[in-house]
Copies of this chain bind each other. A is one copy, B any other.
Amino acid sequence: MTAPRSTRSSRNRRAEHTADTRRALVRAARTLFAERGYTATGTEDIVAAAQVTRGALYHHFKDKADLFRAVMGECAQDMAERLVEQETARAESESGDAWTLLRHGFQSFLDACNDPDFQRIVLVEGPAVLGHSAWDALVEEHGYVLLAEELARAIDEGSISPMPIGPLTRMLAALISEASLYIARAEDHETARKEAGEVLERLLTGLSRTGA
């Protein structure tokens, strides 16, 4: 079951090394894709930043789009983790009713989306680079599940009226995404954040069962 110490250590070192180069590639690609976009970033730029050669890139990834998929997956993963973290923290501290909890959740979701990497890579480049089916699969895997189950719970608890979860999830995510992009590109982020939050609040009241 256990290999000799030296062998295992060596194995680990080797495996760790290859994992390192892979991480370096993803990290470099993430920075460059977020800065200049997908097509404006050459594979040569990426491997230069990662301090490897193109051979390493095409050893670890099928092609450039495959590398992008890994990068976008990482972005989505980071976002999902951040959201879970925030949500648990909120669930502990606040103890309002389910409805206000949900509303506050959306507001902090909006704040979390205010991240340049996420916006550029996941929201802007993603759909065009991967095509809608692959993009959707990635988002389904990482991001939507959270939102969807939270909405399902809200419906079960009766805080919002029964509605088809699928389109509701997609449309709310798009709503918040667009709001975050609006805030990011506004000259005055402060007021933009306030206004977008207000509009979001108003729209969400339409979902409430009580109507308030």
Contact = CB atoms under 8 A, between A and B. Distances in A.
A181 interface: yes
A90 interface: no
Given A136-B185, A174-B177, A175-B175, A199 B167 contact: yes
B166 A170 contact: no
A128 B33 CA distance: 12
Contact of A203 (B164, B173, B177, B206): B206
A176 to B, nearest CB: 9
19 contacts: A124-B127, A125-B128, A128-B128, A128-B129, A163-B202, A164-B199, A167-B179, A167-B192, A171-B179, A171-B182, A171-B196, A173-B178, A174-B174, A174-B175, A174-B178, A202-B206, A202-B207, A205-B211, A206-B206
A42 interface: no
A206 B198 CA distance: 11
The dominant DSSP class at the A interface is helix
Given A167-B182, A167-B195, 8 more contacts: A124-B127, A124-B132, A127-B128, A163-B198, A167-B179, A171-B182, A171-B203, A174-B174
A202 to B, nearest CB: 5
B200 A164 contact: no
Nearest to A119: B132
Contacts of A88: none
A144 to B, nearest CB: 12
With most chain B CB atoms within 10 A of its CB, the pick from A131, A196, A203 is A203
